[in-house]
Structure 1
Amino acid sequence: MGYAIGVDVGGTFTDVVLRDTSGAISVAKCLSTPYDPIAGIVSGVTRALGGRDPAQVTRVVHATTLATNAVLERKGPRVAYVTTQGFRAAIPLGRYARVEEDRYDLRFTPPPPPVAPGDCFEVVERVTARGAVLTPLDHDSVRRAAAEIVRRGISSAAVCLLHAYANPSHERQVAGILRESIGNVVISSEVWPEIREYERATTTIMSAYIGPLMASYLSQLRERLAAIGIDAPIHVMESSGGVISAELAARRAVATIESGPAAGVLAAAGAGFADVISFDMGGTTAKACVVRGGRPEITHEFHVGGKGSFGGRRAGTGVPIKTPAIDLAEVGAGGGSVAWLDPAGALRVGPHSSGASPGPACYGLGGSDPTVTDANLILGYLSPTLSTTPPSDPLSPALSPTSSSIPPSDPLSTASSSTSPSAPSSDPPSGWDSGGIALSAALAEKALDRLAGPLGVTREEAAYAVHEIVSASMASAVHVVTVQRGIDPRGFALVAFGGAGPMHAARVAERFGIGTVVVPEHCGVASAAGLLAGDLSTDRVLSRLDAPDPEGLFTALAAEAAADLGVSPEGPDVRVSRSADVRFKGQSHDLTVGWTPARHDLESRFRDRYAEVYGIRQSGEIELVSYRVRVTAPAAGPPPSTPRHPTSTAPTTPSRSTRAAYFPELGGYTEIPVHTRDTLDGDLPGPAVIEDAESTIVVPPSWTATLSATRAVHLTSQLSERVPWPMP
């Protein structure tokens, strides 16, 4: 049994977790390298190995934002869309919901469609919703479309014919003709054969859009890991929390769009509580998800790049994707979120982030905009003596961490100036490690002073305002996944992780009357650790109205999914879960329920689920719309352990000390104890700070911290019972 490595690439940091043959954990945390993400990965892996033999690595599991960024930034290849005659305009017309500020914009311009109108093509054919051929496929119409696609210089095509889920033969014939002259052709019946042509079309288009990028990226990653001696299989976390091979991820790239957030939820699900709210705050974003009964909520449709109130993405915004994903809400709030003044002079925080380049002002790498990290440093929540020297690494050029040749921007230099934050000015050096960044209190003070002046408040008041605003923003994401869905969050534990999450978790919990906060060991790299907890897993779906043989459909779907994982559906330890999408006849939307062949039991499950979602009980005839299977196989490797003295590449502060920290309920700055997990013995009443190598836990007044047997820090509130029903 060799080493297993988990790699999570975020907008600010790249986290690496190595699990050795005994189950012990080693971690490394490096600044991400946006210009070349693999450079940060290689540096982090090298640090985590710490001199171990790279040939002993037997598994690498990766979470990446490549697919998400490609969709948001429109950096993929040009794609042609091929559909049934009469439906070419569906994609250019699209579906747009005017939300947020767009509702008041009299000159609102919808975002551009995923495929330009001129790149949409029709072919002559038609089948019914039950698969009967109405109009045979005209092969000449396909050849004419192929010739025009080639003439336009397009090398990738997405094919989505009407009702191809019921009869894929026409799609397969179209693909065969297109592949004679076009390199990358993706068809909806292979990507996600589910009812509703618009969502199926956008999912297929996005697969054609990001597939070549994902294949190239994973190929380069494999080569560059091999160059440092790692020749292990590479697995990728998919959106629903399963792990798939790199080869399958390249073919089904659309399934990796929510790769990174899914890993963190898995880590929260393993925190030892049945019902938890996963709260992940990194450098760029914050994400929340509900886990009930140890299982995260799963959605079968989400929107990439969508807008919405309070962290929830609204239908009609962004690009709809029909594939299973862990259901979470996300806001642009993280440690690197920039504080700025809007044109009315009001203080705003995020969604723009300083990212890894240039980073918060206190990093001393060229950033000058005030960020959440700068505010937390001024408030005394972060230690200014986290480390003093940059790491000695051949991948990292010598650079003083407190100086930079990059001239700082100064958008808030005068009292009359009010602007949104400036863009990053350069990339960090390859392999730069967070453990080598000395946090400069002087630079943080300078940045916050540029906010305090226009606001007419003290530096400390400005810093705490930033802290409060970003906490409120993150609370909105929790509100979306709980209160807005009829769930009382007071019965849940809040599991906080990410580099910035434990600093804000207690304040977020106070807003909802949540009385327990759990901060797991290795909380700063929990998403990377969660990657190693994921089993090999993949999903299949097929829409069939009134299928005569559901058992045969389930068997075929399970065989396809198992083949993708390289296992047998009847193999030992292989689990096959079945579910179906059910609706009342006459309704257009359906709900997913666990499968049972007994019709009466299936109807009962559906009605219970209907009442849970909509709050009313209905009666009537039901119909089955789609059939789903999920095949799961255990991943090889030793089980994780909780060593008493875990190793880390990042240095820690002294074992026990004190420093001044700002708590307004105590009148301002107060001298508080500073602990590590090793010095935490018994109950620690707040206010206090507990420092990890990769994160910091703030224990506010009226909270008590204790260390569990698994080395998780549990925060307990004495105020939770007096808090009324939570408000947004």
Structure 2
Amino acid sequence: MAWRIGIDIGGTFTDVAAVEEHTGRIGIAKVLTTPRDFGQGVIEAIRRGLRQHAIDPSDVVLLSHATTVVTNALLEHKGAKCGFIATRGFRDLLELRRSSRPDLYDLFQDAPNVLVPRRYRWEITERIDAQGDVVTPLATDELPALIEAIRTADLQTVAVSFLFSFLNDSHERAVGAALRAALPDVGVFLSCEVLPEIREFERASTTAVCAYVGPLLAGYLDRLSSATAELGLPALHVMGSSGGVFDIAEALRMPAMAVESGPAAGVIAAALAGRQLDRPNLISFDMGGTTAKASVIVGHEVAVTAEYEVGGAANTRRWMHGTGHPIRVPVIDLAEVSAGGGSIAWVDPGGALKVGPASAGADPGPAAYGLGGTHPTVTDADVVLGWLDREALLGGGLPIDLAASERAIEADVARPFGLSVRDAAARINQVVNSNMAQALRIVSVERGHDPREFSLIAFGGAGPVHAVALAEELAIPEVIIPPAPGAFSALGLVATDLKRDYARTLYADLGQVDPVRVADAFAAMRTAGTAMLQAASVPPERRALPRFADLRYRRQAYELTLPVEDGPVTKEMLHHLAEAFHQKHEQNYGHANRLEAVQLVNLRLTALGKLPDLKLAQPSDWSAARLTSREVWFASTGFTPAAVHWRNGLAAEVAISGPAIIEALDSTIVVPPGWTARVAELGYIRLTRD
């Protein structure tokens, strides 16, 4: 047997998903996340998964991991002690930022923290112009003093970003070579290696992010890879933010690529499910312990954006900028809200009920877990309403303390509003559903898509609990619950391909640019991508090198990324690319101007090492069938008796009419009145209106 294993760290649970390549058989294991040392929970989860499913480590052919180390370091301001070197006169580039602000009318808002303090930011005399010509030669005589200043400051890393180095990187590379020779223990990140693209602030910010999180990521991955090697497992791979895995060496060369790796894995798994079920248009909904994430899949294609800010709130509103640190790397287009099973319900000073952003996490967790939590969470509300088993979760492995949930809701929500505990739990449920519906609107309506033309695929430990309520609010006709939804993001880690993204700036009008220039730029990236795939031992027949272009109208500040067809680059091909841009612009923004020149800004290439396709399956086991009942609350009926089924015992084509509950080891599906759940082939469950 050949197994692939994926490990995903969530806010409450760390999940391991193992898939047998030839049969698609799925095995999962869940342990509580260990926030003080994430690696401890990862290794414990791997050991449990190997033991529970009798997997020999020598049979594992792929080991992939989604890490939160990069994002957490930026959110918690716990990165490396790093420096920054800029062209003379641009020392404060990271602090000046752009003029974008999240709230135009708040004169007292604070800007995001600067990753590099001013005392560790230096300048060097050099200048290259917008054509790539040297205006001021590099002052190499300034390097000894600069090196001594870095040594005295005892820095771990240094980021180097000069003006127009994406056109001519000679100065940057000369400084980088001098630093690496004189300071071998200091990590050096050059913007021409990290992001050879236009826009000086975004390029500098991405390079600084890499320098800030690089040592932390390196230490974490080194410890984890050593521990997995001791278990006899293969080399560890890391999930990238654009939906693909890469080896540790690539992760350390470009740490910013590991941002949002967990949520990206879930969307990749959703796309795989869409292909298996022939559902080309999906809205993926992932509700875990601390957050809920949504993304859109159109025509089986995952939406990717290069406009992303990490460490802020930019991913919750499409047009919100200035809250975090921009990174110009491809990221799966996600909307995220602080609404998970562990999100805490509270009353603000104005008397309004709020849910999140604070979360009980894994330690101490919701009050229902009996681990010391005293604040009411979404999970506590779901327990009180009967949506979750009031005695135990995880197939009996996690005892539930109903009385603790009731006490927490009574103290913090019911009493302030003069409500019963049950009514207060229903109010918490309504608030969190409203918050999550906003995320679905962001990726659908605000992207120019009609939710009624999509199916909602729900996963995460809490996603299937709340999915139908969200579908009702947005008039989505169908909800799909995949196999092993509680560990579905971990499944995405083994259902993806080896992937690395490359980019080059080529700034010109699309109608006037010489096709040879475009072809040469693609050829250079193709050479780099092919070398990466060769180093990863990917055979030629499993390699793919799709091309893309960032395009915009003149005088626009931001671009749309479109695929570039295979074959020779010709004038006719570039004309077709311009027409595709007009159509995409009209879809996204409601208008297009075909009389306006289309500008080419960046060329992109993705190097893919394709893994054999998986066919996820969760066969039923008649011996596991069981049927009970309990009182469950629904908005349309209040508390009413509902049948409770065990998912693993449901045969294909079985139809279950609501009100009903379908329980499994990793999640719970709520089927409200007026909806019917049908068990489809391979273990998927489809919910539709009656």
TM-score range, shorter chain: over 0.9
Tell me, yes or no, if the aligned pair for 1:581 and 1:626 is still in contact at 8 Å: yes
Aligned counterpart for 1:439 among listed residues 392, 400, 410: 400
Give the Å deviation of 1:508: 0.8
User: Structure 1 residues 633 and 109, CA, compared in 2 at 3 Å: closer, same or farther?
Assistant: closer
Give the Å deviation of 1:530: 0.9
Match of 1:16, SS state, is strand
Task: Report the Cα distance in structure 1 between the residues aligned to 2:10 and 2:504, rounded to whole angstroms.
Answer: 34
Give the Å deviation of 1:436: 2.5
Residue identity matched to 2:242: S
Unmatched 5+ stretches in structure 2: 509-513
Task: Report the Cα distance in structure 2 between the residues aligned to 1:90 and 1:434, rounded to whole angstroms.
Answer: 54
Match of 1:518, SS state, is strand
Task: Report the Cα distance in structure 2 between the residues aligned to 1:600 and 1:311, rounded to whole angstroms.
Answer: 33
Aligned counterpart for 2:236 among listed residues 229, 234, 238: 234
Residue identity matched to 1:675: H
Give the Å deviation of 1:24: 1.7
Task: Report the Cα distance in structure 2 between the residues aligned to 1:244 and 1:315, rounded to whole angstroms.
Answer: 29
Task: Report the Cα distance in structure 2 between the residues aligned to 1:679 and 1:599, rounded to whole angstroms.
Answer: 53
Deviates more, 1:549-558 or 1:365-374: 549-558
Q: Which residue in the other structure is 1:270 paired with?
A: 272
Q: Which residue in the other structure is 2:550 paired with?
A: 581
Matched, 1:164 2:165: yes
Q: Which residue in the other structure is 1:385 paired with?
A: 391
Aligned counterpart for 1:656 among listed residues 623, 627, 643: 627
Q: Which residue in the other structure is 1:8 paired with?
A: 8
Query: 1:389-538 residue pairs with structure 2 within 5 A?
Result: 436-450=397-411, 451-538=413-500
Q: Which residue in the other structure is 2:156 paired with?
A: 155
Give the Å deviation of 1:181: 3.6
Residue identity matched to 1:120: R
User: Structure 1 residues 143 and 588, CA, compared in 2 at 3 Å: closer, same or farther?
Assistant: farther
Unmatched 5+ stretches in structure 1: 388-432, 719-728
Matched, 1:125 2:97: no
Match of 1:445, SS state, is helix
- The Cα offsets for residues 265-294 of structure 1, whole Å up to 9 and x where unpaired, read as 011112221000000000010000000011
Give the Å deviation of 1:512: 0.7
Give the Å deviation of 1:646: 8.0
- The Cα offsets for residues 416-437 of structure 1, whole Å up to 9 and x where unpaired, read as xxxxxxxxxxxxxxxxx89632
Give the Å deviation of 1:120: 1.5
Give the Å deviation of 1:692: 1.3
Tell me, yes or no, if the aligned pair for 1:495 and 1:517 is still in contact at 8 Å: yes
Task: Report the Cα distance in structure 2 between the residues aligned to 1:601 and 1:171, rounded to whole angstroms.
Answer: 37
Give the Å deviation of 1:309: 9.3
Task: Report the Cα distance in structure 2 between the residues aligned to 1:334 and 1:646, rounded to whole angstroms.
Answer: 31
Query: 1:45-444 residue pairs with structure 2 within 5 A?
Result: 45-50=46-51, 51-95=54-98, 97-99=100-102, 103-104=105-106, 107-182=108-183, 183-230=186-233, 232-271=234-273, 272=277, 273-307=279-313, 312=318, 314-386=320-392, 436-444=397-405
Identity of aligned residues (%): 41
Tell me, yes or no, if the aligned pair for 1:92 and 1:116 is still in contact at 8 Å: no
Matched, 1:706 2:674: no
Match of 1:122, SS state, is strand
Task: Report the Cα distance in structure 1 between the residues aligned to 2:260 and 2:365, rounded to whole angstroms.
Answer: 24
TM-score where L is the length of structure 2: 0.92
Tell me, yes or no, if the aligned pair for 1:380 and 1:661 is still in contact at 8 Å: yes
Task: Report the Cα distance in structure 2 between the residues aligned to 1:129 and 1:646, rounded to whole angstroms.
Answer: 66
Give the Å deviation of 1:581: 1.8
User: Structure 1 residues 203 and 435, CA, compared in 2 at 3 Å: closer, same or farther?
Assistant: farther
Tell me, yes or no, if the aligned pair for 2:62 and 2:494 is still in contact at 8 Å: no
RMSD: 2.2
Give the Å deviation of 1:570: 9.2
Runs of 4+ displaced beyond 4 Å: 308-313, 567-570
Give the Å deviation of 1:313: 6.9
Match of 2:628, SS state, is strand
User: Structure 1 residues 610 and 639, CA, compared in 2 at 3 Å: closer, same or farther?
Assistant: closer
Q: Which residue in the other structure is 1:684 paired with?
A: 656
Task: Report the Cα distance in structure 1 between the residues aligned to 2:606 and 2:315, rounded to whole angstroms.
Answer: 32
Tell me, yes or no, if the aligned pair for 1:385 and 1:653 is still in contact at 8 Å: no
Tell me, yes or no, if the aligned pair for 1:278 and 1:289 is still in contact at 8 Å: yes
Residue identity matched to 1:315: H
The structure whose residues are more often helix, as a share, is 2
Deviates more, 1:303-312 or 1:49-58: 303-312
Give the Å deviation of 1:179: 1.8
Residue identity matched to 1:253: P
Task: Report the Cα distance in structure 2 between the residues aligned to 1:325 and 1:531, rounded to whole angstroms.
Answer: 16
- The Cα offsets for residues 343-363 of structure 1, whole Å up to 9 and x where unpaired, read as 122211111110000000010
Tell me, yes or no, if the aligned pair for 1:264 and 1:527 is still in contact at 8 Å: yes
Residue identity matched to 1:617: A
Q: Which residue in the other structure is 2:511 paired with?
A: none
- The Cα offsets for residues 616-643 of structure 1, whole Å up to 9 and x where unpaired, read as 221133332211101111236x834414
Tell me, yes or no, if the aligned pair for 1:114 and 1:205 is still in contact at 8 Å: yes
Q: Which residue in the other structure is 1:413 paired with?
A: none
Task: Report the Cα distance in structure 1 between the residues aligned to 2:621 and 2:89, rounded to whole angstroms.
Answer: 62
- The Cα offsets for residues 170-196 of structure 1, whole Å up to 9 and x where unpaired, read as 110011112234311100111111100
Tell me, yes or no, if the aligned pair for 1:192 and 1:322 is still in contact at 8 Å: yes
- The Cα offsets for residues 662-704 of structure 1, whole Å up to 9 and x where unpaired, read as 12311x2111101123236632221111111100000111111
Give the Å deviation of 1:586: 4.2
Give the Å deviation of 1:308: 5.3
User: Structure 1 residues 489 and 657, CA, compared in 2 at 3 Å: closer, same or farther?
Assistant: same
Match of 2:561, SS state, is strand
Tell me, yes or no, if the aligned pair for 1:568 and 1:574 is still in contact at 8 Å: no
**Which structure's relative contact order is higher, taking Cα pairs within 8 Å and 6+ residues apart?**
1
Matched, 1:602 2:565: no
Tell me, yes or no, if the aligned pair for 2:502 and 2:604 is still in contact at 8 Å: yes
Task: Report the Cα distance in structure 2 between the residues aligned to 1:643 and 1:684, rounded to whole angstroms.
Answer: 18
Residue identity matched to 2:551: V
User: Structure 1 residues 701 and 498, CA, compared in 2 at 3 Å: closer, same or farther?
Assistant: same
- The Cα offsets for residues 530-579 of structure 1, whole Å up to 9 and x where unpaired, read as 11100111110011234752212111101212322326999213111111
Task: Report the Cα distance in structure 2 between the residues aligned to 1:287 and 1:309, rounded to whole angstroms.
Answer: 10
Matched, 1:557 2:532: no
Task: Report the Cα distance in structure 2 between the residues aligned to 1:482 and 1:286, rounded to whole angstroms.
Answer: 15
Task: Report the Cα distance in structure 2 between the residues aligned to 1:676 and 1:241, rounded to whole angstroms.
Answer: 33
Q: Which residue in the other structure is 1:634 paired with?
A: 610
Matched, 1:675 2:676: no
Tell me, yes or no, if the aligned pair for 1:338 and 1:372 is still in contact at 8 Å: yes
Residue identity matched to 1:557: M
Tell me, yes or no, if the aligned pair for 1:337 and 1:354 is still in contact at 8 Å: yes
Aligned counterpart for 2:541 among listed residues 533, 553, 572: 572
Tell me, yes or no, if the aligned pair for 2:498 and 2:608 is still in contact at 8 Å: yes
Task: Report the Cα distance in structure 2 between the residues aligned to 1:192 and 1:98, rounded to whole angstroms.
Answer: 24
Tell me, yes or no, if the aligned pair for 1:18 and 1:26 is still in contact at 8 Å: yes
Residue identity matched to 2:487: V
- The Cα offsets for residues 425-473 of structure 1, whole Å up to 9 and x where unpaired, read as xxxxxxxx89632011111111111121111011110001111111111
